[in-house]
Structure 1
Amino acid sequence: MTLLIAWLLLPFLGAFLSALLPSTARWLALGCALATTAVGALLFNGTCPWFLQLTGPLGVLLQADALAAPFLLLNGLVVLAVVLDTWSRRPPGPFLLLVMVLLGGLNSAFLAVDLVSLYVALEVVGVTAFLLILQKREPQQLWIALRYLLVGNTVMTVYLVGVALLYLNTGSFRLAALGAPGLEPRNLAVVVALLLVGLLTKSGVFLSGLWLPRTHAEAPADVSALLSGVVVAGGLCPLLRLANQLPQLQPLLGLIGLASALLALLYALADTDLKRVLAWSTLGQAGLVLLSPATGAVYALAHGLAKACLFLLAGRLGSRDLRTWRLQPLPAALGLPWYVASLSIAGAPFLLGFWTKDQLASVVGAGSGMLPVPQVLVLAMAGTAAVYARLCWRPIRWEWAPPAPGPWLLAALLLVGGLALGPLPPPGSAGKALGVLAFGLGLFSGLTLIALGLQRRRLPASDPLPVPWPAPLPLPLPDLERLQELLGGLAVVGAVLVGLLMPREVLWPG
């Protein structure tokens, strides 16, 4: 127990020491990331779960178990990659100090099984992310950071009301109290709906997560890597714990996750900004994490590693305009990790993302009650392949250049992790994955040809054909990212959740 407490306090102690001795910040951040990676690996390998209770039955309750292991491993590895990526340059302001606080807050969020401790941990993460977004102090980043803080504080206030209602009905703040026999179904419905509004927003899922694309796109590249790699996982892990505690909630979470994936695909195919496409992809992949508690944690690990790699590289690729994407060859030092990470999220064989997608498809296809229509999941995966076909449609320039240490580390982990799970994938699984990739490539090509045809019709016949390949999806999609839409979406989500969770005899008596 002493070691567990010391490990949890290590990032905060490191942040404190780095404020006193700034020259040690890089080494302290490196040590904290390695320690978290080691703990995650120990738990991932089947080490017995650790429990920690402080200040009595109403105090802090932490549980380091198999569900937390992939998230802890992800947290350590992504922070390690970000620290290595900034090793050769001096990051602005107290960047490494904030990274250590973020690391410690996320560790606590992954382990917390009492709702008050989870609230505190997520608030620490939210405030730290707000300060990280502001590191360049540009006007646009200031507004985006303030918007992120406003939305986060609003939903966590709603979450805290749900925690208070749970205590009034059960006398406990524990997550396990949601299954207490004395809790009336109508009270349970209200409590769970309020908790879900907060956690779905923090994890960036569906309408509650529409703050995510603009926030992740406007943040600096290394901060975007942290936001998409691990910050959204701070809400995903408690959602999976909630689904394990209340199995009857899983079909609803599955439908929300699938709706999030499909919504994100439409916007990712229609957008022309590289970082926004990556951010929309995060919103969609976070939704797929919720489809199955059995595979969600490992799925989040594979996605977080790949997405952090892509965001770190996005800061080095020059123009973010996808309409001129294929005209800018990538140096091999950047192109190889870019292709590995993109193909992993798309589900290509031999990579870690292939195995996690195969596990998810097996659980859903086995009729475990997670989804009524697994065919829609195949469509979502094919759409993901189409999105990353857009991002891979850029040639590689084979010339020597210094490799980026952070992205290369993450890309190597995706490759080694995939080979470790099985150097030769089963023929059936590999065939299905290749079929989905081919379907996605065909979808991408068809949409691009339609977009080119529509654009050509709007030009005089004498004009040369433009080169917008890969072209965006020609759909007039509404802008859902303004502050009023964000707050309105939260209200709609909360009202719908209460209606769906409330017992029928309460809504329609008699």
Structure 2
Amino acid sequence: MAELSPALLTASLLLPLLAAFTAPLLPSLARPLALLSALLSAGLGLALSAGLGPWSLELVGPLGVLLQFDATAAPFVLLNGLVVLAVLLDGWQQPLNGPFPVLLMVLLAGLNSAFVAVDLLSLYVALEVVGITAFLLMLGQRSSLQLWIGLRYLLVGNTVMVIYLLGVALLYLRSGSFRLQALADLAPADGAATSITLALLLVALLTKAGVFLSGLWLPRTHAEAPANVSALLSGVVVAGGLCPLLRLSQALPQLQPLLVVIGLASALLGVSYALAETDLKRLLAWSTLSQVGLVILDPTVGGVYALAHGLAKAGLFLLAGRVGERNLVRWRQSALPLQQALPLWLGALSIAGAPPLLGFWAKEGLSRGLSGPSSGVLLVAMVGTAAVYARLLRRPLAPASGALPLGPALLALLLLAGGMLLAPLPAQGSLLKAAAVLAAGAGLELLLDLGLRAAAGLGWLALPRLERLDDLLGGIALVGVTLMALLLGGGLPWAV
């Protein structure tokens, strides 16, 4: 295994920031520099995925920065580069929108830092950079609604990061370290202190990842942002919280049963609201809340699942800015050109779990890792997801016209190539199960279309609105209190 020098590892994270500093001085180079940064991130992710790591980088001594370039970070770093690349290609022919390429490079660097950080202070800095950059990206159209949604996102993010810092401070007081591994070393010695620390860290990371009640900020934020920003938010920004959650569950396997419950609850909540939605972007956003819950079910598969979901969802959000009609009630009243329909179908089918796309293999890995009641709940969530995306496939097809959407087409091609080239042929049992799930989802969508949505529209089956600011803060508080009670009450048995 080749060993990279600390200088090269540091450069892989700092080059996008250097490019972001250079771009305002040489505006004509802004897009090429952003493109180069995205390609470098994708290349680093491919190298790590191919087993060329792990590489570690320690700066400023044992209490300083510790970065781990390993298999856990690999799919997230790859996803980051590919989604940023697709967003750049999608808007390549359009006029530059202010500092968009600069913010894109800062976001890329911040997310990659969050993916490789294994000390909690570096992770805090990286997540704050990501949050502020995402807020600035939301203001691209400078509407009053987007300003309010952005400020709400910033308020929620800053609130949970204060909670996160309290957890970091408690960890340091008990262990004298900021390292993630210190949690595992502390657990057998002082279960109560570890439980409190974990509850504080978990509520922050679950909120950043958009999981369950902590993620109620996600649907409206992703739906109201510009399409290219929505693609970034749902495709890769939520991964800034997901990757640390997977690292946490790897360091503390005792934590995984609790994360399974939270993840499945998030999956069911998101699917339920997505099935009831009539707006395309809100449907996709609620689906993101569902899918990020599935990512945390199994740390061995979570990275691949995040990669498959992020590629598909980024492409679908980019297409949502092109298809014209967002109202799904009128979805079938106009035809969709072939060059838009193909990437939309591939993205939707991948998330639904259709073979041989990458999403099928991610769902297959999750299914193998769960047993008992959890596997049954996962099956229900998979059928609901298939129903959500069956709805998008029912728009009439028109002959190809206009330019090919490069960003969504690239992501769709990667989903197809990733599924066909990087995995063996599926077994007959897996194919039959996938076909049954897709058929059940299509049947559920047909039933909803025939009557249940009409009943919901009349108020008989209407779901409660959960997206006011007090709902967001209340959801975070409820999750935090529940985690604290469960962990302190013995819901997490520490094992030496």
Q: Report if TM-score (shorter chain) is over 0.5.
A: yes
What does residue 217 of structure 1 align with?
A: 223
Give yes or no for the alignment of 1:245 onto 2:231: no
The one-letter code matched in structure 2 to 1:264 is G
Alpha-carbon distance between aligned partners in 2 of 1:474 and 1:427, rounded to the nearest angstrom? 42
Alpha-carbon distance between aligned partners in 2 of 1:62 and 1:500, rounded to the nearest angstrom? 31
Answer whether contact 2:305 2:363 (CA < 8 A) is retained. Answer: yes
The one-letter code matched in structure 2 to 1:376 is V
Answer whether contact 2:323 2:336 (CA < 8 A) is retained. Answer: yes
Give yes or no for the alignment of 1:260 onto 2:246: no
Give yes or no for the alignment of 1:68 onto 2:80: no
Matched ranges for 1:358-373 at <5 A: 358-365=364-371, 372-373=373-374
The one-letter code matched in structure 1 to 2:280 is L
User: How far 1:21 moved relative to its partner?
Assistant: 1.0
Deviations 1:317-370 (A, max 9, x none): 1121010001121001100000000000000011110111111101114x6xxx
Give yes or no for the alignment of 1:96 onto 2:96: no
How many equivalent residue pairs?
486
What does residue 279 of structure 1 align with?
A: 285
Residues 128 and 167 (structure 1), Cα distance of their counterparts in 2 relative to 1, 3 Å cut: same
What does residue 130 of structure 2 align with?
A: 125
Answer whether contact 1:62 1:113 (CA < 8 A) is retained. Answer: yes
What SS class does the counterpart of residue 57 from structure 1 fall into?
coil
What SS class does the counterpart of residue 20 from structure 1 fall into?
coil
Alpha-carbon distance between aligned partners in 1 of 2:422 and 2:68, rounded to the nearest angstrom? 27
User: How far 1:505 moved relative to its partner?
Assistant: 11
Answer whether contact 2:222 2:230 (CA < 8 A) is retained. Answer: yes
Give yes or no for the alignment of 1:338 onto 2:344: yes
Give yes or no for the alignment of 1:172 onto 2:177: yes
What SS class does the counterpart of residue 300 from structure 2 fall into?
helix
Aligned residue among 163, 171, 175 for 2:168: 163
What does residue 404 of structure 1 align with?
A: 405
Alpha-carbon distance between aligned partners in 2 of 1:377 and 1:437, rounded to the nearest angstrom? 14
Matched ranges for 1:273-312 at <5 A: 273-312=279-318
Residues 252 and 397 (structure 1), Cα distance of their counterparts in 2 relative to 1, 3 Å cut: same
Alpha-carbon distance between aligned partners in 2 of 1:64 and 1:339, rounded to the nearest angstrom? 34
Matched ranges for 1:465-480 at <5 A: 475-480=461-466
What does residue 227 of structure 1 align with?
A: 233
What SS class does the counterpart of residue 355 from structure 2 fall into?
coil
What does residue 500 of structure 1 align with?
A: 486
Answer whether contact 1:350 1:423 (CA < 8 A) is retained. Answer: no
Alpha-carbon distance between aligned partners in 2 of 1:45 and 1:270, rounded to the nearest angstrom? 41
What SS class does the counterpart of residue 476 from structure 1 fall into?
coil
Alpha-carbon distance between aligned partners in 2 of 1:357 and 1:66, rounded to the nearest angstrom? 19
Answer whether contact 1:49 1:65 (CA < 8 A) is retained. Answer: yes
What does residue 468 of structure 1 align with?
A: none
Residues 180 and 455 (structure 1), Cα distance of their counterparts in 2 relative to 1, 3 Å cut: closer
Give yes or no for the alignment of 1:153 onto 2:154: no
Answer whether contact 2:114 2:123 (CA < 8 A) is retained. Answer: yes
Answer whether contact 1:169 1:183 (CA < 8 A) is retained. Answer: no
User: How far 1:423 moved relative to its partner?
Assistant: 6.6
The one-letter code matched in structure 2 to 1:498 is M
Superposed CA RMSD: 1.6
Report the TM-score when normalising by structure 2: 0.96
What does residue 198 of structure 1 align with?
A: 204
Aligned residue among 80, 84, 100 for 1:79: 84
Answer whether contact 1:270 1:474 (CA < 8 A) is retained. Answer: no
Deviations 1:362-385 (A, max 9, x none): 1114x6xxxx43111000000000
Report the TM-score when normalising by structure 1: 0.93
Moved more, 39-48 or 497-506: 497-506
Percent of matched pairs sharing the same residue:
63
Give yes or no for the alignment of 1:9 onto 2:14: yes
What does residue 45 of structure 2 align with?
A: 40
User: How far 1:424 moved relative to its partner?
Assistant: 3.6
Alpha-carbon distance between aligned partners in 1 of 2:426 and 2:61, rounded to the nearest angstrom? 49
Give yes or no for the alignment of 1:483 onto 2:489: no
User: How far 1:454 moved relative to its partner?
Assistant: 4.6
Alpha-carbon distance between aligned partners in 1 of 2:179 and 2:114, rounded to the nearest angstrom? 14
Answer whether contact 1:260 1:287 (CA < 8 A) is retained. Answer: yes
Answer whether contact 1:270 1:475 (CA < 8 A) is retained. Answer: no
